[in-house]
Structure 1
Amino acid sequence: MRQMAHRAAARRFDVAMTNQTSAMATAKLNVGILAANELLHRGLDTVLSQVALVGAVAHCRHPAEVDRLLAAGDVDVLILAGPWTRPPALGRTRILMLLDEASAADPSAASLDADGFLFQQELTQESLSDAIRRVAAGETPMPGRLARHLISQVTAPGRGAVPARRLIDLTSREKSTLDLLYEGLSNKQIARRLGISEHGVKRLVASVLLKLDSPNRTSAVVTAIKAGLIDHTA
C-alpha cells in the first residue's frame, strides 16, 4: 500500500510539472536589465525585443532600482552586467550574469551566486534566448571555458589536498545525476542518458543541490569535488 501511495504521489508530481512546463512554454517572461555600459544596455534591449519568450523588459540604471524592482516581485530573470550585491532572498527571480572581456580572460571574476552565465562577446538572439529559457527553468547555462576554470580552481596542484569525503548520503541515481552534471549535461541530455523524464531529472537535480547545500549546478559540482564525491582524475 505504501509503495502504491508513493507511485500515486509521483504521478501527481509529474502531472503538476507537466502543467507547469506547458504554462512556461506559453507564458512570457518578465526580464530586468542592469548594465553599467549604456551601449551594452541598448544592445540588450534590441536583442530582447527579438526574443519570443520575453514579455515586459524593465530597465535599471542603478542597483537601487533593481532592489525596488525585485521587491515588487515582477521579474522572472535579471540580466546583470554591472556591480550589484545579491540580496539573501530573491524569490522567483533568477540571475543571468553577462561576463565581459576581463572576465573571459580571468573567469575567477564570475560569482557562483549567479544562476547562469553568458559572455558578452557571444551574445546573440539565439544564445540569449537559450540562456534565459534555461535559467528560468532552473538550469545553470554556462560557457564551457568558465565551467572548466571554476572546476580547475579546486583541482589544480598546489591548492591543498581535497578534504576527506563528507557524509553526504546520495542515492545511486542522484550520484549518476551528479556525475552527468560534472560532464556539463543539460536536463534533457541527462534524461536521455538515464532513460527517465525531464521531470524526473528536475527532481533529482533539486535533491542533489539540496543535499550539497548549493545554489546551482556548478556550485554543486565544485562542492562535490571538494567533498571527494566526484573522481575528477578519471
Structure 2
Amino acid sequence: MVAVESEAVVREGLDANLDVAVLVASEVVCAGLEALLSRLPAVGGVRVLPLEADDLPERIGPADVLIVAADQWSMLESCTGVSGLPSTLVLGDDLYERWNGDLSSLPVDGFLSLKDLSVQTLDDALKRVTVGEMPIPASLAKRLLTGGRGRGTASAQGVIPLTSRENQAFVLLADGMSNKQIARCLGISVHGAKRLVGSILLKLGASNRTSAVITGMKSGLL
C-alpha cells in the first residue's frame, strides 16, 4: 500500500515545467544528459553551467533541480550554507567511495547512476526529488547497508538520543518517504512530520536527508 501511495504522490507532485541546471565537465556525458532531459515532458528548460564561474550559487539559483557530476561535486562547496538552492542530484558510479571522503557536507538530495542512466531512471529521480523523496541507486543503497555498520557503531561514534517517535520517522525517512508520507504513516500533521525530520537532522548533525541516512547507518541506528 505504501508503494502505491508513494507512486501516486510522485506522479501528482511533479512540476510540469522544471528548470534543470547541469554541472558536468565531460562533453559526452553532458550531451547525453541533455538529450535525455529533452525527452521528458516535465522538463521546461536545461541550462549547462560554466565550470569556471565564480558566482556558481547565483548561476544555479533559478533552477528547480541541479544535476552535478560526481567529479564536479566538490565545486558545490561554495554553495554550502546558501539558502534557496534547488534539489541536487549527484551523477556517477563511484559514489560509495566518495562518501568515505569529506563530501558528506556538500549539498545533495539524491543520486543517479551514470551506468544505468536512461529516460526512465532520470524521470523517476526527478519525480522523487521534486516531492522530497531521496532517489538512490539500488547498488549504492546495498553497499551502504552492507558496509556502513562495519566502519562504525553507535558505541564507537557516541549514542545519538533519538526519541521513539523520531526513530519511527527516521525509518520512514530512510525508506525515501516525503514529509507528507511520513505524516500519513504516523497519523500526524505534515508540520509535525517536518518538525520530526528537522529534529533528526539536527541531532545527527546532517545537512540533508541523504547525509542523515548515511550517518544513521554508520552509527547503527538503521
TM-score above 0.5, yes or no: yes
1:85 corresponds, among 75, 90, 97, to 75
Give the whole-Å Cα distance in 2 for the aligned partners of 1:78 and 1:108.
22
| 2:49 aligned partner | 60
> What is the CA deviation profile of residues 171-229 of structure 1, one whole-angstrom value per residue up to 9, with x for unaligned ones?
432210112334x342376456435566654453233223322122232133334555x
Are residues 198 and 55 of structure 1, via their aligned partners in 2, closer, same or farther at CA, if it must alter by over 3 Å? farther
Inter-partner Cα distance in structure 1 for 2:109 and 2:140: 13
| Cross-structure match for 1:29 | 18
Aligned length: 200
SS of the aligned residue for 1:122 comes to coil
> 1:149-168 counterparts in 2 under 5 A?
149-156=143-150, 162-166=156-160, 168=161
The amino acid across from 2:36 in the alignment is V
Would you say the 8 A contact 2:22–2:46 is kept in 1? yes
Residues 49-68 of structure 1 show CA distances to partners (whole Å, capped at 9, x for unaligned) of 12222222111242x33x53
1:206 is matched by which residue type in structure 2?
Answer: G
| Partners of 1:158 and 1:58 in 2: CA distance | 40
Point out where structure 1 has 5 or more consecutive residues left out of the alignment.
1-20
Change (3 A) 1:133 1:207: farther
Sequence identity of aligned pairs in percent?
Answer: 39
Distance change in 2, residues 1:68/1:179 (3 Å): same
1:94 lines up with 2:87 in the alignment: yes
Deviations 1:13-62 (A, max 9, x none): xxxxxxxx9x9644522111122221111111111112222222111242
Larger radius of gyration: 1
Q: In the alignment, which residue of structure 1 is the partner of 2:197?
A: 205
| Cα RMSD after superposing both structures | 3.3
Q: Which residue of 2 aligns with 1:10?
A: none
Q: Secondary structure at the match of 2:67?
A: strand
Q: Which amino acid aligns with 1:68?
A: D
Match of 1:119 among 107, 113, 119: 113
State the distance in 1 between where 2:151 and 2:33 align: 40
- SS in structure 1 at match of 2:66: strand
Decide whether aligned partners of structure 1 residues 198 and 70 sit closer, same or farther in structure 2, where only a CA change above 3 A counts.
Answer: same
SS at match of 2:207: coil
Q: Which has the higher contact order (CA 8 A, sep 6+)?
A: 2
Cα 1:150–1:227, aligned 2, differ >3 Å: closer, same or farther? closer
Partner of residue 122, structure 2:
128
Pick aligned residue for 1:223 from 215, 218, 221:
215
Question: Bigger CA drift: 204-213 or 31-40?
Answer: 204-213
Cα deviation for residue 71 of structure 1 reads 0.9
CA contact (8 A) 2:36 2:118 kept: yes
Tell me, which stretches of 5 or more residues in structure 2 are unaligned? 1-9
State how far apart, in whole Å, the 1-side matches of 2:148 and 2:164 are: 24
Q: Do the aligned partners of residues 116 and 225 (structure 1) sit closer, same or farther apart at CA in structure 2, a change above 3 Å counting?
A: closer
Give the TM-score normalised by the residue count of structure 2: 0.72
